[in-house]
Amino acid sequence: MITVACLIAAKDLRVERRSKIVTNQVLPFAGITMVSFAFALDKQNVLDTVAPGLVWLATMFSLLVIVQRTFAIETDDGALDAMRVAGVDPRAIFVGKAMALGFQLLVLEAMLFGAAVIFYGESIPSNNAFGSVVLLVTTMLSATCGLAAVGTLYGGLAAGFKGSETLLPLLTLPAVAPVLIGATKAVESAVGTSGAVVSEGWQWVGLLTLFAVAAVVGGALAFGPLIDD
């Protein structure tokens, strides 16, 4: 199963590398979302306080765009059905697509944190820089696993149906709300927003990890019945 999952992930990433949709369209979209937040809020002290939340909000919006894209390439040519007919394990399809999605999300998050440093003046506190960076990276990894699993599950569910573009946000955004809350709180602790300290952030990483494990296991089990029509 793992080998097939890796092959599917590699295939998805190869498609993305050749089409450059994520780099040419999704990353600029995420960037303009960050700039739009700055236009709307327009006060440095407000931006300092809400920057971690805005980063994750921009990630959620971009997640929807990437999930639409990742399933559009499958359904356009009936590739998902072809894989099922070829006897590919649906769990392998789920894990493979989630891995590719997760990798793209990590790249996107790194860029968004860079944008927060440049546009919103965010910085790592110098008194515990190592602890902050470890917390930040762990948060990104845990949150990404949860987001990728939920995105893949609901992307697969909505793929190929009329109105899937509008259904996907309705299903995904409530489901990933715990990630939005947990990841925002953890990043606030990592960057010291409003005097938050690093130690406070780890309980939120615990929640994110729990969510990620539940989403990956639940998603792998549910994906088969969802696409097996």
Partner 1 sequence: MTTIEPAKAEHDTARQSALPSQRSTATRGTRIIGIVAVVALGWLVAFGLGFSPADRDQDESVRILYVHVPTIWLAYLAFVVTAVSSAMYLFSKKKSLGWDRAAGASAEIGVTFVAVTLAVGAMWGRLTWGVFWQWDARLTTTALLFVTYIGYLAVRRLGGSHEQRAKRSAVLGMIAVVEIPLVHFSVKMWRSLHQEATVANLDGDTKMDGLMLFSLFVGVIAFTLLYVWLMLHRTRSMAMEDLLEERGLDEALAVRRAEAAETATAATSAPPTATMKTGSDS
Closest distance of CB 173 from partner 1, Å: 8
Q: How far apart are the first and last CA of the chain?
A: 21
222 touching partner 1, by CB under 8 A: yes
Q: Which stretch binds partner 1 (CB under 8 A): 47-55, 89-97, 123-131, 165-173?
A: 165-173
> Residue 26: how many CB atoms within 10 A of its CB?
20
- Region of 79-87, 95-103, 112-120, 174-182 interacting with partner 1 (CB under 8 A): 174-182
Of 8, 63, 101, 175, the one binding partner 1 (CB under 8 A) is: 175
Other beta carbons within 10 Å of 163: 9
Residue 63 in the binding site for partner 1 (CB under 8 A): no
At residue 197's C-alpha, the angle toward residues 142 and 137, to 5°, is 25
Q: Record the tokens describing residue 118, joined without a space.
A: 């440049």
- Interface stretch with partner 1, choices 2-10, 74-82, 92-100, 217-225 (CB under 8 A): 217-225
Amino acid letter for position 136? L
The candidate with the shortest Cα–Cα distance to 37, out of 26, 27, 48, is 48
Q: Which is nearer to partner 1, 77 or 228 (CB)?
A: 228
For partner 1, which residue of 134, 171, 197, 210 counts as binding (CB under 8 A)?
171
Whichever of 80 and 175 has its CB closer to partner 1, that residue is 175
**CA distances, 2 to each of 18, 70, 93, 211 (Å):** 24, 20, 10, 22
Residue 194 interacting with partner 1 (CB under 8 A): no
Packing angle, helices 129-158 and 177-191, rounded to 10:
170
Among residues 24, 42, 45, 225, the one that binds partner 1 under rule CB under 8 A: 225
CB of 174 to partner 1, least distance (A): 5
Cα separation, 226 vs 195, whole angstroms: 45
Kindly tell me which of 87 and 174 has the beta carbon lying closer to partner 1: 174
